[in-house]
Structure 1
Amino acid sequence: MIHSDMAMPNNLKIDEEKYKSILKYIKLNVTDKYDFPQEIVQIDGITIATLGNFSASTGKPKSKKTFNVSAIVASALSGKEVLKYKANLPACKNKILYIDTEQSKCHCHKVLHRILSLAGLPTDQENDRIEFFVLREYTPDQRRDIIRWALHEENNIGLVVIDGIRDLIHDINSPSESLDIINELMRWSSYYELHIHTVLHLNKGDDNTRGHVGSELNNKAETVLQISKNMENGNISEVRAMHIRDKEFTPFAFEIGKDSLPHLVNDYQFKINKRDKLTSYVDMTEQQHRSALEITFQNGPVVGYQALLDALKKGYDSIGYARGRNTLVNLCKFLLQHEAILKDGRGYSFNEKFSI
């Protein structure tokens, strides 16, 4: 520790002043009040994006990730619900910056046209609320510099889309590069008080996000959406939460219509893969319980304990959790303790506001 300025070189004095400034900025005081980050994108009332954070869409090639992102952006532009997304940007931050790193201008033009069409906005005139940059021709370092300058020059940006993050680094498996770009996303989103949504491919052989950057993304992102192609109908894509800080939303599906736009598939039935079947109800996610209970109580409240066990069997069978009476009895106790099921006399009902 240095006790006297006489022993301190001039350059170290400058560093000390910078440190004091940073320390003042980062110090948390219990007496101060901090506003909760503004929620800007929701699905069925469940928050998936807030200002000051970042999220991602992931999926294998041709899974329609860009179509999914287009719906998010279209909702942010229009304030309307698009697919299942309902976005609301604050008036002081109602501009959108869309960065594409891999497609040609021709293909990017189709994306921009799609976004405006989904938003119900004119496609024959420019919209001053969205800036679309095509960075295919630039190096990873140049792309990052361009994004930095764009954020520095425009004060009203509330949503940034980076399709895709892999092209902002040289080596997707480099721990140092991956950590640097994720830290950059956290710094940009926090410093400029905006939300960044990025796109990253999944591995071809499994459902893990690609490379070391994928691991960092999973650890730090507010929400990671997984877009999967239906194996029987390639025109349908499924959207579910891979990681989410809020409670999980009910998965949904969309298909591409004759107008080349994504449309919600109503009453879509999700199939459960054998590898997704769980060995214990304790290990299930809240969304898995919710899906099973929606089937259990699809006809309303159930009267009688045995009728409840029968309904639970049907509900949990539907998600691939087929068990005998003893397990169902313990499952019933578990659900009652967590108030997912409410008991009133001999009747049992589903509490949709439960939390596990």
Structure 2
Amino acid sequence: MKPEFFNVVENITSDNIQEILQYVRLNVTEKYPFPPQIVKVKGTTIATVGNFSASTGKPKSKKTFNVSAIVASALSGKEVLCYTTCLPAEKKRILYVDTEQSRPHCHKVLQRILRLAGLPVDSECEDIDFLVLREFSPVQRRTIIDCTLAKRSDYGLVVIDGIRDLLRDINSPSESLDVINDLMRWSSFYNLHIHTVLHLNKADDNTRGHIGTELNNKAETILQITKKIDNEKMSEVKAMHIRDQEFTPFAFEIGDDSLPHLIENYQAQKSASKYLSYKQLSEEQHREALEAAFKEASQMSYAQLVEAVRKGYESIGYQRGRNTIINIIKFLQNSGAIVKTDRDYSYNPDFHIKGNSGLV
């Protein structure tokens, strides 16, 4: 479909309906080639031209590091982490859109991508355009993306790091549908692939808001990036939803060079968290679990507390039985994280865990 055709579709009348029907009608006698497969993981296709996909994960799960690897693979034509990317010859250019980070942080991301691709960071790369849209409104961001895509025909891959910022209300069905329709239109009209980034809910592994529901329904692939409970430097990548066959999950960690590196023999390490003691969890992990536990109520009875803490720790990947949860609560009380007032219990975010003191 030609981009200028959209102007006709925007104003459907009895005069132009025949032109529109001529395009949308499917003919059994015609051949429709399958779209080019541009991104693969270990031979499994996760991205094709004319579709869109997403990376999801909780805050600090290293989603942007994962996306950086995909973009670096597209720039270099080499395997980065487990990604192999091959853009069509006439569409080698990449558009990277960041909606939430400052220019210094975005600059670090761009430099990371170039370093992963083996490209110099002291000269401009002609194959990537990086847009920083933090200062703009959701409607303005979508307009800028729309106009940018209309000006060039050589974009093959578009990354939108922060799709949530393309709409005002993350739970609005109408706004979410508008954004998803934009993704479908852009990817189809401009014959490219769009990869987006969206957070998961803190309390569970569901994508955030109504936009997350629409992504799950319409995206070609949803990748989930999860920080490992037994090693905070390690992040796992797996397919949450995928049209092709599922690939074996892989993991990476951030090295001293601030770049993601593939974890070899990851399969043998998958069950390590099953045997992890709560004594080994970091203060940050306890804090994340407690924030999820007290998300719905600031005070609760003991029975409610046990269930809330169980769900809170389960949300960070630490699933345990009642006896262990009770021991965790005692530990958290001794650490000042959970405070009892009369019959109710509340969360004190200003706690600090000192070693294993107070464990029972």
Output the TM-score relative to the length of structure 1.
Answer: 0.72
- Tell me the equivalent position of 1:271: 271
Q: How many residues get paired?
A: 262
Aligned partner of 2:26: which letter? L
Q: Is the 8 A contact 2:46 2:221 kept in 1?
A: yes
Q: 2:30 aligns with which of 24, 32, 41?
A: 32
- Shift of residue 271 of structure 1? 2.6
Q: Is the 8 A contact 2:160 2:196 kept in 1?
A: yes
Q: 1:139 aligns with which of 137, 140, 145?
A: 137
- Tell me the equivalent position of 1:18: 16
Aligned partner of 2:73: which letter? S
- Tell me the equivalent position of 2:182: 184
Report % sequence identity.
Answer: 70
Query: 2:181 & 2:36 partners in 1: Cα distance?
Result: 21
Change (3 A) 1:25 1:113: same
Query: 1:16 & 1:112 partners in 2: Cα distance?
Result: 48
**2:105 aligned counterpart, secondary structure:** helix
- Tell me the equivalent position of 1:225: 223
**1:82 aligned counterpart, secondary structure:** coil
Query: 1:271 & 1:20 partners in 2: Cα distance?
Result: 60
- Tell me the equivalent position of 2:170: 172
- Shift of residue 233 of structure 1? 1.2
**2:13 aligned counterpart, secondary structure:** helix
Write out the 4+ residue segments of structure 1 that deviate beyond 2 Å after TM superposition: 271-274
Aligned partner of 1:202: which letter? L
Change (3 A) 1:272 1:258: closer
- Tell me the equivalent position of 1:257: 255
Query: 1:271 & 1:42 partners in 2: Cα distance?
Result: 26
Q: Is the 8 A contact 2:230 2:272 kept in 1?
A: no
Root-mean-square deviation (Å): 1.3
**2:139 aligned counterpart, secondary structure:** helix
Gaps of 5+ in 2: 1-10, 275-360
- 1:203-240 per-residue CA deviation (whole Å, 9 max, x = no partner) reads 00000000000000000000000000011211100000
Change (3 A) 1:231 1:272: closer
Aligned partner of 1:181: which letter? V
- 1:123-157 per-residue CA deviation (whole Å, 9 max, x = no partner) reads 11000100000000000000000000000001100
- Tell me the equivalent position of 2:312: none
- Shift of residue 90 of structure 1? 1.0
- Tell me the equivalent position of 2:151: 153
Query: 1:221 & 1:72 partners in 2: Cα distance?
Result: 17
Residue 60 in 1 paired to residue 58 in 2? yes
Aligned partner of 2:271: which letter? K
Query: 1:76 & 1:14 partners in 2: Cα distance?
Result: 38
Aligned partner of 2:246: which letter? E
Q: 2:82 aligns with which of 81, 84, 87?
A: 84
Query: 1:271 & 1:252 partners in 2: Cα distance?
Result: 13
Query: 1:224 & 1:271 partners in 2: Cα distance?
Result: 23
**1:235 aligned counterpart, secondary structure:** strand
- 1:221-262 per-residue CA deviation (whole Å, 9 max, x = no partner) reads 000000000112111000000000000000000000000000
Change (3 A) 1:28 1:264: same
- Shift of residue 20 of structure 1? 1.5
Query: 2:92 & 2:109 partners in 1: Cα distance?
Result: 20
Output the TM-score relative to the length of structure 2.
Answer: 0.72
- Tell me the equivalent position of 2:117: 119
- Shift of residue 116 of structure 1? 0.2
